[in-house]
Structure 1
Amino acid sequence: MRTLPPTITPARSRDLVGSVIDASTALLAEQQHDIVRFAMGAPSEDLMPMERLDQAFSNAGRGRYDYGATEGEPQLREQILHLSEWAGSPTRDERLLVTTGGMQGLDLAFKLFVARGDLVVVEAPTYTNGYATALSYGAEVLAAPVDGQGLVVEALPELVKHAGRAPRAIYTIPNFQNPTGVTMTRARRELLLQLAEQWGSVIIDDDPYGLLRFDGDHVPGFAEIAPDHPLLFQVRTFSKVIAPGLRIGWIDVDPEVRRLAINAKQAMDTCASVPVQTAVATYLGSGDLQRHIAGLRGIYRDRKNAMRSSLQRHFGDLATATDPEGGFFLWLTLTGEASAIDTERLFPRALTDGVAYIPGPAFTTDGSLRNALRLCFATSSPERIDEGIQRLARTVRHDLVATGALV
């Protein structure tokens, strides 16, 4: 007798939104031809401290394959405290919980604070997996604009008034935002804290890139402006500064929130991988991470500049791009004759032509920003960046000729 599959809860399945970004990993693995990969936001393998990590794994002591404390291994939490102090945002152990990557931190935030029908402010555009996690808990998303100075916080009161109720949470990527690369000003951070207090809203501060500033002046973080603020839920990760496959991050939250987050995490995975936590703690204890970050900053500055120069050389007036002071990404907007191009429709042709990116609509809740796309400069050398931009420019011009927009 044929066994029928279990019935999936309709409301829950309807709220689950897949990630275009993560799906691109499998898509690219299927390709047999040379592709310049501007899609995934990850360091290239040559920029991961592979030998030191291998050494850290091999030197781990007894107990590394046991269950661990849900809070995280004590030696790793100690190293996170040292790193936070070095980064200018000291914290306390009772605020820390080690997570399985930054994504688990986001999941814990929305799980604890968002119920079905709650309003959640997100940036437009924003990180796909961030708003997808909010949607998975039944949130109603309110998109707020982003400009060259980050989230347009001044627009929030009118947007919230029009929505008819205060947001339960505000999800923001304040430093070198994904996907635009822009950074929120101090004045806007201060205003956002004021609005959060007024509304009783949790600020979910997702900051994977904050340690990777390579130009400009430091902008104080929310916790520097308002230490121990109870409405701050800070999500951090080692994915961008060490290696994404480690899947180790942490949250920095009010101790009472941490207690609830521990309960929630125990219903997920009990604890983050103990062998990986131990190896990361060993690596951090060597002091290598600070030196590694210093090297990354110079490399990423060179790669960002190479991408912007290549865009100017090969696109000219057909596109404009953001100019980030850190992080991984440029946001490219097609202009002039190219402004009518749909980057989602263009993607298969670009992939055939040997270049991959993430289309603009993937970062929106309404499928807008169709003439824009995200480019990651962190993964490729300046020479490969130039090759990839040339391929992308050829794809765009081919499309313009095919549609009669360019003769």
Structure 2
Amino acid sequence: MPSTPTSQPLVPTSRPASRGLPLAGRTDQLVGSVIDSSTSLLHQQTHDIVRFAMGSPAAEAVPTAILSKLAETALGPESADAYDYAATEGDPPLREALLAALAGTSDATTADRLFLTSGGMQGLDLAGKLFIDPGDLVVVESPTYTNGSATALSYQAELLEAPVDAEGLDVEALSALVQRAGRVPKVIYTIPTFQNPSGTTLSLARRQRLLELARQWGSVVVDDDPYGMLRFEGDALPTLHELADGDPLVFSVRTFSKIIAPGLRVGWVDADPSLQPLLINAKQAMDTCTNLPMQRLVTEFLAGGHLEGLLAANREEYRRRKHAMQDALTQHLGDIARWTNPEGGFFLWVTLTNGVDTQELFEVALAEGVAFIPGPAFSPSGRFHDALRLCFASTAPERIREGVVRLRRAIDRLATRPDRAPESDLG
């Protein structure tokens, strides 16, 4: 059995020592990302690991051959201006190509609403910078994307966790939670389609009700939808952007990270035109402009008509991988777990029913050669000790089966370990 090298813990337990430096008070809320930390941790391992942890496209799903060929033109010797600074709101050719690519879709938009960002995370950070004051109440789904809730915390928000079920965010439960809180949220952060980590999708009725509540409360809905173009089963739903029909309370965040390649670090925000000057000011205080060479590369990719073919191929492959993972889970964990059934995206949310704590399980599983993200990483209050997130998109079916076998072996090892209490607190 392989051993795990000594390394930093996956889940930080305390604020690092400041060596007496006069740190800002907000640093107490800089919690970092368990997901991103897993990448560094996995690089330290010397044995074979099936990697279900990071939410990345499969290496073979990234169109490297096409991108390399396009780079010869977009970034070649005749394109010296591609290495200059860019307009803060986005390079005009990419803005034009993106508007054309979105035309006729549920995310169709206009130039005065479009703002290019350095990936989806910068879109979330811009939302926090524009809308969140210290002490503001911000709703997050429970479970939710670690980096999204961490961004709100970095602006010193007070988080209110609202439950997720098979139809996505439980909007009526949210309404009751807000009533009990005695104040309305300033921001509602939601991942409505193929949610990270659960894979669930917010139903049409709940989308409409969420917008109704947002208008009633005067709350900004931060609509984070990186996976919506990756539907491989079921019927498409209108995005919150489309349903809002220009309502300034909806701030939509999108990215090319999941649909082309994460290393591009190019995304966009769709927001009310009145926010454009503030977005420009905020971004100029961050990074001046999004990486221009990568903007030019994405422009060539979109203008060349490559996106739809890539999406079609990847949708089919991700469907195949999801079913491979569900089949393997049925065979090897069917007696001790249940899991979600997403119609697109990257993730399954697995809940163990045998009392094993997934945070304890992580190190045992890593030693057995399989990596995942434990459930508590997706809750600011540390819930979901009985759950874990598995990414099916990045792993081929045969490796998926091997990874699930290793996961079951790790679960059995932990469940029978002599020093383990009979039952874990699943809080």
Say whether the fold is shared (TM-score over 0.5). Answer: yes
CA distance 1:25–1:8, shift in 2 (3 Å): farther
Amino acid at match of 2:277: R
Tell me, in whole angstroms, the C-alpha distance in 2 between the residues paired with 1:255 and 1:62. 32
Amino acid at match of 1:334: L
Is 1:40 matched with 2:57?
no
In the other structure, the counterpart of 2:416 is 401
In the other structure, the counterpart of 2:8 is none
Deviation at 1:240, TM superposition (A): 0.3
Question: Could you give the per-residue CA deviations for residues 182-239 of structure 1, whole angstroms, max 9, x where no partner exists?
Answer: 0000110100111111111000000000000000001111122221111010000000
Deviation at 1:298, TM superposition (A): 0.3
In the other structure, the counterpart of 1:206 is 224
TM-score computed with the length of structure 1 as normaliser: 0.96
Q: Tell me the SS of whatever aligns to 2:413.
A: helix
Amino acid at match of 2:415: L
Amino acid at match of 1:353: E
Question: Could you give the per-residue CA deviations for residues 284-324 of structure 1, whole angstroms, max 9, x where no partner exists?
Answer: 11101110000000000000000000000011220001000
**Matches of residues 4-153 of structure 1 in structure 2 within 5 Å?**
7-60=21-74, 61-153=79-171
Question: Could you give the per-residue CA deviations for residues 32-85 of structure 1, whole angstroms, max 9, x where no partner exists?
Answer: 100000000001211100011112222123410111100100111112112222
In the other structure, the counterpart of 2:236 is 218
Deviation at 1:402, TM superposition (A): 2.3
Is 1:318 matched with 2:336?
yes
Deviation at 1:10, TM superposition (A): 4.5
Tell me, in whole angstroms, the C-alpha distance in 2 between the residues paired with 1:148 and 1:116. 33
Q: Tell me the SS of whatever aligns to 1:27.
A: helix
Amino acid at match of 1:342: D
Is 1:231 matched with 2:249?
yes
Q: Is the Cα contact below 8 Å between 2:106 and 2:239 reproduced in 1?
A: no
Deviation at 1:277, TM superposition (A): 0.2
Q: Is the Cα contact below 8 Å between 1:87 and 1:211 reproduced in 2?
A: no
Flag structure 1 segments of 5+ consecutive residues without an equivalent.
Answer: none
Tell me, in whole angstroms, the C-alpha distance in 2 between the residues paired with 1:132 and 1:29. 23
**Matches of residues 177-188 of structure 1 in structure 2 within 5 Å?**
177-188=195-206
Tell me, in whole angstroms, the C-alpha distance in 2 between the residues paired with 1:67 and 1:401. 59
In the other structure, the counterpart of 2:386 is 371
Tell me, in whole angstroms, the C-alpha distance in 2 between the residues paired with 1:167 and 1:54. 46
**Matches of residues 245-394 of structure 1 in structure 2 within 5 Å?**
245-335=263-353, 338=354, 340-394=355-409
CA RMSD of aligned residues (A): 1.4
Deviation at 1:333, TM superposition (A): 0.2
Q: Could you tell me the percent identity over the aligned residues? A: 56
Deviation at 1:5, TM superposition (A): 6.5
Q: Is the Cα contact below 8 Å between 2:70 and 2:300 reproduced in 1?
A: yes
Deviation at 1:89, TM superposition (A): 2.6
Amino acid at match of 1:359: P
Tell me, in whole angstroms, the C-alpha distance in 1 between the residues paired with 2:345 and 2:210. 22
Deviation at 1:15, TM superposition (A): 1.0
Flag structure 2 segments of 5+ consecutive residues without an equivalent.
Answer: 1-17
Amino acid at match of 2:196: N
Tell me, in whole angstroms, the C-alpha distance in 1 between the residues paired with 2:274 and 2:71. 33
Q: Is the Cα contact below 8 Å between 2:324 and 2:397 reproduced in 1?
A: yes
Amino acid at match of 2:49: I
Tell me, in whole angstroms, the C-alpha distance in 2 between the residues paired with 1:157 and 1:370. 26
Q: Is the Cα contact below 8 Å between 2:255 and 2:268 reproduced in 1?
A: yes
In the other structure, the counterpart of 2:184 is 166
TM-score computed with the length of structure 2 as normaliser: 0.92
Q: Is the Cα contact below 8 Å between 1:213 and 1:325 reproduced in 2?
A: yes
Amino acid at match of 2:348: L
Q: Is the Cα contact below 8 Å between 2:244 and 2:250 reproduced in 1?
A: no
Tell me, in whole angstroms, the C-alpha distance in 2 between the residues paired with 1:72 and 1:224. 22
Amino acid at match of 1:352: A
Q: Is the Cα contact below 8 Å between 1:56 and 1:280 reproduced in 2?
A: no
Deviation at 1:86, TM superposition (A): 4.3
Amino acid at match of 1:51: A
Q: Tell me the SS of whatever aligns to 1:317.
A: coil
Mean Cα displacement is larger for which, 148-157 or 5-14? 5-14
Tell me, in whole angstroms, the C-alpha distance in 1 between the residues paired with 2:237 and 2:374. 29
Tell me, in whole angstroms, the C-alpha distance in 1 between the residues paired with 2:311 and 2:373. 26
In the other structure, the counterpart of 2:193 is 175
Tell me, in whole angstroms, the C-alpha distance in 2 between the residues paired with 1:51 and 1:279. 13
Tell me, in whole angstroms, the C-alpha distance in 2 between the residues paired with 1:54 and 1:107. 30
Deviation at 1:7, TM superposition (A): 2.4
